[in-house]
């Protein structure tokens, strides 16, 4: 009962070899996954920062409307004094400017 047969010794040797290989390779795999996880976290943080910047740029301004900029004036602004620019204006060199003020 205490004697290990040849087949049992072979099975233990194969299992020990498997554990030795696993023990050698596994740390590299774990550290590689950790490195990829850190890279992905940095990329996602950069994307989140970029989206926050885009949200800040696309947020409507907090300025009062043009006709209510001076509530103390006695006369209301007329429609002829307001100037609305076209969405596309040519700068003269063929480059279109979008929503210039």
Instruction: Break the chain into its structural domains and give their ranges.
Output: 27-59
**Length of the chain (residues):** 101
Residue 62 pLDDT: 65
Q: What is the pLDDT along the chain (101 residues), one digit of tens a residue?
A: 456 788 888 999 999 999 999 999 999 999 999 999 999 999 999 999 999 999 888 877 666 666 655 555 555 555 554 554 555 445 554 444 444 44
Report the relative pairing of strands 96-98 and 88-90 from DSSP bridges.
Answer: antiparallel
pTM, 2 dp: 0.41
Position 101 scores a pLDDT of 43
Predicted local distance difference test score (pLDDT) of residue 92: 52
């Amino acid at each position: 009962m205490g004697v290990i047969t040849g087949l049992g010794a072979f099975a233990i040797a194969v299992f020990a070899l498997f554990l030795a290989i696993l023990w050698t390779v596994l740390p590299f795999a774990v550290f590689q996954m950790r490195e990829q996880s850190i890279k992905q976290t940095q990329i996602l943080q950069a994307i989140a920062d970029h989206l926050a910047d885009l949200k800040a740029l696309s947020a409507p301004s907090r300025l009062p409307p043009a006709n209510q900029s001076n509530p103390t004036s006695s006369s209301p602004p007329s429609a002829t004094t307001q100037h609305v620019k076209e969405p596309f204006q040519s700068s003269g060199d063929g480059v279109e400017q979008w929503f210039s003020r």
